[in-house]
């Protein structure tokens, strides 16, 4: 009972925690191919390294926004695809450089790019094949309301062997000042037909393109005449900019383009998509929050914000006090490997806040809207975070009113106090490993001497300033660790002086 009633100090909505489901094979040739792939791919898992010419787009142009849908459950299958262990865009070097030129040209016109998918491991293509053989349509109402999923191949919406697996194909959209702000997706989000009017369907932070991404419908065909004039103009703007740099579109998907440079990879690849390492992520970040404590067991610390200036970071405004876990800090599962480091390692329920380098995600709070550039989630009375390490929903945000309960421990996010009136997700233990710690975030403290059970807490005025300052387009990161560890890693990771 004490475990259930404790204040939640770990919160991360991880919609990518889905197990592979069993499937029955139908007597069709393309399904036999899918089965062959599904049998071969697991044997190759982890065996194929990333080729040197395949690069992270974030390292080439961090200004291009990313919303990698197949790393989450917000796609037509309703689960994260096999091989997507991180929401990162990888492309061949030439394709990535060409896309950066597209971004530069569009920015001169007041537009920008947001990518939904890039390189796709062949095991993920096989995963799509498995989905087509299984009963159930968890996201049909949003992505294919008028199509039977067994017809995906016949209609050309899914390929048996995808060009995405060759490393030079990208799915993307157009951003601009007239775009509606992006919504924060959770598995409990209501499904709206992807062909619904712009203001009604899912808001992805892009301009009106006539349909949403991955919309299996004739309205998504590039030259479809049933969409409004503004959406047609936006499609043409995107297509012209892409074609100028050597990309060719696909007639049935307005978002799909393939780069055809001479050095483009020709073979299908299957290496998994993994997170950027800490050093690479820091090199592409333009906003840092550095939190340090005196030692591993101290509960009080100091936070300092930084902004990139050329190849270095400069301090932004004054530092402010924070509190961490009641047992101090321990190495967490973020962007840096902790296996070979000295010091404690975070575990579920240990009362320690995670040390390391972490991405920052969605903001959340009690108000229906918030003044922030971050995606924002308004908390309701039924939203909870699962901290049961034995549950398939571990480290996941769920709506208890709509999801079958398969956990023994969770915390409701809408509280009677102000601790979660404003908060920001810290992407720790994603994808989740059992017992490695769940649901970590910034939130409002009880006071300057009151520790948390694993989060980093601060005065409400300071978290409000983070709401105003943080910008996902700047790839913000949290660096959190004891002072001695920070100094030890500072030169190696090119961290700023404290």
Read off the pLDDT of residues 102-120 as tens digits, 9 standing for 90 and up. Answer: 999 999 999 999 999 999 9
Residues of the chain with CATH 3.30.1380.10: 29-259
Q: How confident is the model at residue 339 (pLDDT cuts 50, 70, 90)?
A: low
Q: Is the predicted pLDDT of residue 350 greater than 50, yes or no? A: yes
Please give the structure tokens belonging to residue 303: 């936070």
Alpha carbons 30 and 416: distance in angstroms, whole number? 55
Q: What is the mean pLDDT of residues 111-137?
A: 94
Alpha carbons 266 and 210: distance in angstroms, whole number? 32
Domain 29-259 annotated CATH 3.30.1380.10: yes
What pLDDT is stored for residue 76 in this prediction? 96
What pLDDT is stored for residue 47 in this prediction? 53
Q: What is the mean pLDDT of residues 63-75?
A: 94
Q: How confident is the model at residue 401 (pLDDT cuts 50, 70, 90)?
A: confident
Of residues 2 and 85, the one with the higher pLDDT is 85
What pLDDT is stored for residue 218 in this prediction? 96
In 3-state terms, what secondary structure has residue 465? helix
Q: How confident is the model at residue 11 (pLDDT cuts 50, 70, 90)?
A: very low
Q: What is the mean pLDDT of residues 204-222?
A: 97
What pLDDT is stored for residue 377 in this prediction? 87
Alpha carbons 454 and 34: distance in angstroms, whole number? 43
Rounded to an integer, what is the distance from CA 274 to the centroid of its chain? 12
What pLDDT is stored for residue 189 in this prediction? 84
C-alpha distance from residue 443 to each of 106, 247, 300, 364, 458 (Å): 37, 44, 15, 10, 7
Q: What is the mean pLDDT of residues 7-25?
A: 34
Please give the structure tokens belonging to residue 447: 């006071």
Alpha carbons 239 and 297: distance in angstroms, whole number? 55
Q: Are 169 and 259 in contact (CB under 8 A)?
A: yes
In 3-state terms, what secondary structure has residue 364? strand
pTM attached to this predicted model: 0.78
Q: Is the predicted pLDDT of residue 414 greater than 80, yes or no? A: yes
DSSP category for residue 69: G
Mean of per-residue pLDDT scores for the chain: 88
Q: How confident is the model at residue 27 (pLDDT cuts 50, 70, 90)?
A: very low
Q: What is the mean pLDDT of residues 365-383?
A: 92
Q: Which residues, other chains included, contact 51 with Cβ-Cβ below 8 Å and sequence gap of 6+? A: 167, 265, 269, 271
Q: Is the predicted pLDDT of residue 142 greater than 80, yes or no? A: yes
What pLDDT is stored for residue 340 in this prediction? 54
Q: Are 380 and 477 in contact (CB under 8 A)?
A: no
Q: What is the mean pLDDT of residues 45-54?
A: 78
Of residues 386 and 9, the one with the higher pLDDT is 386
Verify cis geometry, omega within 30 degrees of 0, for the bond prior to 435: no
Alpha carbons 221 and 126: distance in angstroms, whole number? 24
Q: Which residues, other chains included, contact 22 with Cβ-Cβ below 8 Å and sequence gap of 6+? A: 134
Backbone angles phi, psi at 375, to 5 degrees: -55, 140
């Amino acid at each position: 009972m004490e475990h259930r009633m404790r204040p939640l100090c770990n919160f991360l909505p991880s919609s990518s925690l889905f197990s592979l489901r069993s499937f029955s094979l139908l007597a069709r040739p393309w399904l036999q191919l899918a089965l062959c792939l599904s049998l071969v791919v697991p044997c190759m898992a982890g065996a194929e390294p990333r080729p040197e010419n395949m690069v992270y787009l974030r390292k080439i142009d961090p200004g291009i926004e990313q919303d990698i849908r197949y790393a989450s459950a917000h796609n037509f299958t309703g689960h994260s695809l096999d091989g997507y262990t991180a929401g990162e865009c990888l492309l061949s070097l030439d394709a990535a450089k060409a896309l950066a030129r597209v971004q530069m040209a569009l920015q001169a016109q007041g537009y920008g790019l947001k990518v939904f998918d890039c390189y796709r491991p062949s095991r993920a293509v096989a995963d799509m094949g498995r989905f087509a053989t299984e009963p159930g349509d968890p996201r049909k109402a949003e992505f294919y309301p008028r199509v039977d999923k067994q017809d995906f191949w016949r209609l050309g919406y899914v390929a048996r062997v995808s060009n995405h697996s060759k490393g030079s194909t990208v799915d993307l959209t157009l951003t601009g000042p007239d775009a509606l702000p992006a919504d924060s997706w959770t598995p409990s989000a209501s499904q709206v037909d992807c062909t619904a009017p712009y203001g009604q369907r899912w808001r992805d932070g892009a301009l009106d393109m006539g349909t949403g991404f991955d919309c299996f419908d004739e309205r998504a065909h590039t030259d479809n005449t049933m969409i409004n004039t503004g959406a047609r103009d936006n499609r043409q703007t995107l297509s012209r900019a892409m074609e100028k740099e050597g990309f060719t579109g696909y007639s049935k998907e307005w978002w799909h383009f393939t780069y055809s440079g001479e050095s483009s990879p020709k073979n299908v690849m299957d290496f998994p998509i993994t997170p950027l390492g800490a050093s690479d992520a820091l090199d592409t970040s333009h906003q840092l929050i550095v939190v340090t404590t005196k030692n591993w067991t101290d509960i009080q610390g100091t936070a300092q914000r930084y902004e990139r200036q050329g190849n270095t970071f400069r301090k932004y405004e004054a530092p402010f006090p924070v509190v961490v876990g009641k047992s101090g800090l321990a190495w967490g599962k973020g962007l840096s490997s902790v296996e070979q480091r000295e010091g404690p390692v975070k575990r579920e329920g240990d009362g320690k806040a995670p040390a390391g380098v972490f991405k920052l995600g969605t903001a959340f709070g009690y108000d229906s809207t918030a003044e922030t550039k971050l995606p924002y989630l308004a908390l309701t009375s039924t939203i909870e975070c699962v901290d049961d390490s034995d549950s398939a929903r571990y480290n996941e945000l769920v709506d208890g009113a709509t999801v079958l309960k398969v956990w023994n421990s969770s915390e409701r996010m809408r509280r009677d106090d102000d601790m979660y009136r404003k908060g920001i997700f810290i992407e720790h233990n994603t994808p989740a490993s059992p017992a490695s710690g769940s649901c970590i975030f910034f939130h409002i403290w009880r006071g300057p001497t009151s520790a948390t059970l694993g989060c980093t807490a601060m005065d409400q005025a300071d978290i409000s300033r983070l709401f105003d300052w943080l910008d996902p387009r700047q790839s913000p990161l949290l660096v959190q660790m004891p002072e001695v560890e920070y100094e030890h890693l500072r030169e190696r990771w090119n961290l700023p002086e404290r």
